[in-house]
Amino acid sequence: MTAPRVFALHKPRGVVCSAVGEGGATPVYELLPPDVRGWFAVGRLDKESEGLLLFSDDAAFAQRLMDPGGVAKTYEVVVEGLPDEDALAPMRAGGGAMEGRVLRPVEVTRLGKAPRGGTRLRVVLHEGVNREIRRLFRAAGHKVRRLKRVAVGPVGLGELKEGEGREISARERELLEAALAARGAGAAARQTGISPSGRERSGGGSHRGARPRDSKL
């Protein structure tokens, strides 16, 4: 069986994640090599967001990477103002509702101050809801100025410049598959009440994941 191939692209701001341009914007597929343009996108980024986008020649593998709880996606975010711990607490706790789904906890780490009275943060998502990060910070009273995806699971943006891309290495693909396997084992353990180590969890019960959905962030 042939291993899935994966291509990593640094999407610039102003580029749309579609095969056809919208309002004169450049479609992301125009930035891909001709032999990659028929591959399947692993999630999306909205027009004003930038950073790492993955594409795979295997539709099933791309869907596994997009499934809730599949692999973590890491972002560097700049917001207006200085959000305090009370503003970040609901994101970290999860449990809120968005588009009929119960949100998973979001990992939020302060990186420092940004120019013009802003704040830099690292945000890690374990699911994908349309414009989730922007909507969470807007609800907390802090508009997102800049949003850049820097990693999908173990695959990082690295030194790719805007508009540049590369096919990931066999080792990176193995790490992606290992991350998916680890997530799958964890989900199965939550459903059965048995931990990945084989020990029974106290109070363990079934857990139903949300329906897979593509997202823009």
Give the active site residues: 46
- DSSP letter at 168 equals P
Residue 121, C-beta contacts closer than 8 angstroms, at least 6 positions apart: 76, 77, 78, 79, 83, 108, 109, 110, 111
Long-range contacts of 21-29 (CB under 8 A, 24+ apart): 22/47, 28/53
Question: 79 near 119, Cβ under 8 Å?
Answer: yes
Tokens of 217: 């962030």
Which amino acid type is present at position 216? Answer: K
Tokens of 196: 């990945």
